[in-house]
Amino acid sequence: MKILTIDVGKGTQDILLYDTGKNIENSIKLVLPSPTQLIAQKIQKTKTNLFIKGEIMGGGPISQALTEHIKNGYKVTMTENSAKTIKDNLERVKQKGIEIISNNQKIEDNNTTTLETKDIDLKILKNALKEYQINLNFDYIGIAVQDHGYNPEMGDRNFRFQKIKEQLQTPKKPEELIYHNNIPNYFTRMQAIQKTLKKYNTYIMDSKFASICGATMDPQVQKFKNYIIMDIGNGHTLAAAIKNKKIVGVYEHHTNALTPKNIEKYTKKLANATLTHEEIHEDNGHGAHIIEPLPEIEKIVVTGPNRLLINKTNLNAYHATPAGDVMMTGPTGLIKAITHKINQENNQ
């Protein structure tokens, strides 16, 4: 059985092609620039008007690049679906100076460059691997992205954490937090990926929980019973308290707003269940939710591209390297969650 997993982040897309009949350390691995970075670079290099079509995808760098493109005097037109990459509320997209047209319209003239938005492009990946005599064949595909969700009556920061709390009303194993043909409508980015990959057997997971799940695949981490996993990413940091393999508390913050002092404070308070949602939210983070305290902290398990922040604290940290590579934390988490889901579905 072959499983292709892709963790799409703000800075990179981390790819693992795993054959269950082989040692996972010998899998095909790639760490490439994220799709949003690639499209942002194309926008920056373009010296014409732009027409952008496609699906919703991760949009931070794209939004910044389009703002600069408009400032430089160029016209930007986007289809409705692609425009939701910037904001789900299309009126707010128009306020940026972007013209929006229906999904079935297109613009073709000599002074307009066309780009396409989508988080996953298997054609590019297939062509790249073909040069190394590798055929991109797989039975299942797993994708991890961070989707804030969309509710017109609530900000995305609040709405995202509300949905995290709803998923964790009782302690759950990280691998339980994966979707297979049951993505809620409010997760518009995940829905777009499902549409792009409609002909494949696709599993989709929040990137933060995929990383938490992947960290538990490290052989050393499997020896711990009560510990905290921190995924310190390029954009966001999520910490999860683990008790007997289940998540019993979380907090999520923006990495660039976290000081080593606050990391230490918030993490200790997560463990003893004194951290409040308001404390994180008022510090411009997403929030906190705690089901029960940890009886002790055996270790702080850390992963993510900015994990070295932990070295500036006094926390007792272990750097997880599932499949022998810290950048494969998300993809290995997807493999664990997909395998769990397949077994669950086969036993129903």
pLDDT tens, residue by residue, 277-307: 999 999 989 999 999 999 989 999 999 989 9
Q: What is the mean pLDDT of residues 236-256?
A: 95
Domain boundaries in the chain? 35-117, 219-320
pLDDT in tens, 83-127: 999 998 999 999 999 999 999 998 888 889 999 999 999 999 999
pLDDT for 161-185, tens place per residue?
899 999 999 999 999 999 998 999 9
Q: 145 Cβ partners below 8 Å, 6+ apart?
A: 8, 58, 119, 189, 190, 193, 204, 206, 207
Q: According to the model, what pLDDT value does residue 188 have?
A: 92
Task: Please return the burial class of 149, using the count of CB atoms within 10 Å of its CB with bins 0-12, 13-18 and 19+.
Answer: buried
Exposure string of 165-193, with b = 16+ CB inside 10 Å and e = fewer, is eeebeebbbbbebbbbeebeebbbbbbbb
As its CATH architecture, domain 35-117 has: 3-Layer(aba) Sandwich (3.40)
Phi and psi dihedrals of 35, rounded to 5?
Answer: -55, -40
How far apart CA 318 and CA 74 sit, in angstroms, is 49
Percent over 90 (pLDDT), the chain? 83
**pLDDT confidence bin for 342, thresholds 50/70/90:** very high
CA 234 to CA 299: how far, in whole Å? 23
Average pLDDT of the chain?
93
Give me the pLDDT at residue 108, please. 82
Q: Which CATH class is domain 219-320?
A: alpha beta
Answer for the pair 213, 175: CB distance below 8 angstroms, yes or no: yes
pLDDT reported for residue 109 = 86
> What per-residue confidence (pLDDT) applies to 100?
96
Rounded to two decimals, the pTM is 0.94
C-beta of residue 253 within 8 angstroms of C-beta of residue 283: yes
pLDDT attached to residue 81: 95
